[in-house]
Amino acid sequence: MAEFTLDLNDDQKQVRDWLHGFAADVIRPAASEWDEREETPWPVIQEAAKVGIYSLDFYAQQFFDPTGLGIPMAMEELFWGDAGIALSIVGTGLAAVGVLANGTEEQIGTWIPQMYGDANDVKVAAFCSSEPDAGSDVASMRTRAVYDEAKDEWVLNGTKTWATNGGIANVHVVVAVVDPGLGSKGHASFIVPPATPGLSQGQKFKKHGIRASHTAEVVLEDVRVPGHCLLGGKEKLDERLARARERAKAGGERVKNAAMATFEASRPAVGAMAVGTARAAYEVALDYAKTRSQFGRPIIDNQGIAFQLADMRTRIDAARLLVWRASWMATTGKPFTSAEGSMSKLYASETAKSVTAQAIQILGGNGFTREYPVERMHRDAAIYTIFEGTSEIQRLVIARTLSGMPIR
C-alpha cells in the first residue's frame, strides 16, 4: 500500500522556494507602486518571463504534476507576494485553461504559445465570458456567434466585461451563444487571433483591489474568425448541440457549457491564490504583534490578540488542505461528488477576507494606512469571493450537489 503523506517532495520544495524568492525579491518591492499606478506591471512580467515563471513550459510542468499540487503551490507563493501583480503574471492561464478544456491538440499547440510570447516580446491573453447582464447567470449571455458557411467563418457580436487583460491581450478566448434556444448549453468558445478587426477595448475599470491587473470590457463588432478558431471544431460542436437538443426534449441531464468547463478547472487554483494572500496578511500581523508594545509588553501577550492569530492560522491551514484535496482529486480523476472544488474556493476566499480584516484590526491605526501592506491585502482579498463564481454561487453549487435538488 502506498504511503500517505502531505509532505512536498524535493522537486516541489525546490520550486516552492524558487517562487517564494521571486515573490519576495521582485514582486513585493514593486507591489505598492503598481497598485497606485493601476497599470499592468510589464517590467515584472518580463522579469518573470526571463527566469521562466511566465512561460507555457512552467505552467505545463506544474499542471502535469502527478500529485496535483504544482499549480496550487505556485499560486500560493506568487499571491503571497502580491495579488495584483501575481494576477497579471498568471491571468493568461485562464485563457490557456479555456483552450485546454475545449480545444483540439492542434489548437492547443497553435494558440497557447502565442498567449505568452517570450522573454524578449512578452504577450498576454484574455478569457472573455462575463457580460454586463450575464455574470453568474451564464444563461443570459447575449454575445452571438453566427456561422457564415460560404466563407467558413464565425461572426461574433457583443460586449464582454470584467475581462482580465481584455483589449490588451494578444489572443482573446471568447465564449458566445451559437444556439439561443439551448440556454447555457448553446454556448461555444472561440479564439480571436491577434489584430482581428472589430475587437476593441471598452471601459477599463478602476478597481477596489488587484489594481495592478488590467480589467476591461471587450467590444466585438462583426468580428470574423476562421472556422478553425472554434475550439473543439464544428463537428464536435454539432454533435454536442444535437445531444443537448435531444436531452432538452426529454428533460434529461444537464450538459456542461464551455465557460463552466473552464471555471470548474480553475476554482481550486483561485482558492490557492486566496490562501497566499491570507498567509501574507497573517505573517505581517504576527510579526507586528511580536514587536508592537503597549502597556509595557508585546501585544501578542494579550489573549485577545493571540487567539485571533491562532484562529487566523487555523483557517489558513484548513483552507490550504481543502485546496490541495480538490487539486489532487482533479489530477487523479476523482469526481467532485460533493462539489469539493467549489468547497475549496468558497472556504479559501472567505478565509482571505476574514484574515486580512483581522490583520488590519491587529495593526490598529497602522493597519488602516498604506504604509503597511495589510490595507492593500484586504482590498485585494475582496475579489476572491466574487470572480470565477461568487461565494453565493459556490454555496448553490455545493447545495445542489449534496441534495440533488434544483435549489434556486
CA distance 192 to 335: 32
Q: What is the pLDDT of residue 255?
A: 45
CA 387 to chain centre: 8
388 is catalytic: yes
Q: What is the pLDDT of residue 257?
A: 52
Task: Specify if 238 maps to a domain.
Answer: yes
299 and 230, same domain (yes or no): no
* Number of domains into which the chain is organized: 3
CA distance 207 to 262: 24
Cell representation of residue 263: 471555471
pLDDT higher than 60, residue 258: no
CA distance 319 to 309: 15
Task: Specify if 358 maps to a domain.
Answer: yes
Q: What is the mean pLDDT of residues 92-100?
A: 91
Q: Among 122, 138, 159, which residue terminates a domain?
A: 122
Q: What is the pLDDT of residue 260?
A: 55
399 and 317, same domain (yes or no): yes
Q: Which residues contact 97 (CB under 8 A, 6 or more apart)?
A: 127, 262, 265, 266
Residue 232: give the domain boundaries. 125-250
Inter-residue contact 179 to 186 (CB < 8 Å): yes
262 and 311, same domain (yes or no): yes
Look up the pTM and report it: 0.93
pLDDT higher than 90, residue 106: yes
CA distances from 114 to 1, 17, 40, 166, 266 (A): 44, 29, 19, 16, 21
Inter-residue contact 150 to 107 (CB < 8 Å): no
CA distance 240 to 78: 38
pLDDT higher than 60, residue 254: no
330 and 391, same domain (yes or no): yes
Task: Specify if 3 maps to a domain.
Answer: no
294 and 345, same domain (yes or no): yes
For residue 331, the SS3 value is helix
Task: Specify if 4 maps to a domain.
Answer: no
216 and 344, same domain (yes or no): no
Q: What is the pLDDT of residue 101?
A: 86
48 and 108, same domain (yes or no): yes
Q: What is the mean pLDDT of the chain?
A: 94
332 and 202, same domain (yes or no): no
Per the listing, cell 475582496 goes with: 382
CA distances from 44 to 25, 39, 65 (A): 11, 12, 26
Catalytic-role residue among 76, 371, 388, 392? 388
140 and 244, same domain (yes or no): yes
CA distances from 10 to 7, 14, 17 (A): 9, 6, 11
Q: Among 250, 272, 300, which residue terminates a domain?
A: 250
* Among 357, 317, 325, 354, CA closest to 342: 325
pLDDT higher than 90, residue 392: yes
Task: Specify if 214 maps to a domain.
Answer: yes
Q: Among 99, 122, 145, which residue terminates a domain?
A: 122
Q: What is the CATH number of the domain that holds 318?
A: 1.20.140.10
pLDDT higher than 90, residue 249: no
The 10s digit of each residue's pLDDT in 40-92 is 999 999 999 999 999 989 998 998 999 999 999 999 999 999 999 999 999 99
Q: What is the CATH number of the domain that holds 118?
A: 1.10.540.10
71 and 16, same domain (yes or no): yes
189 and 264, same domain (yes or no): no
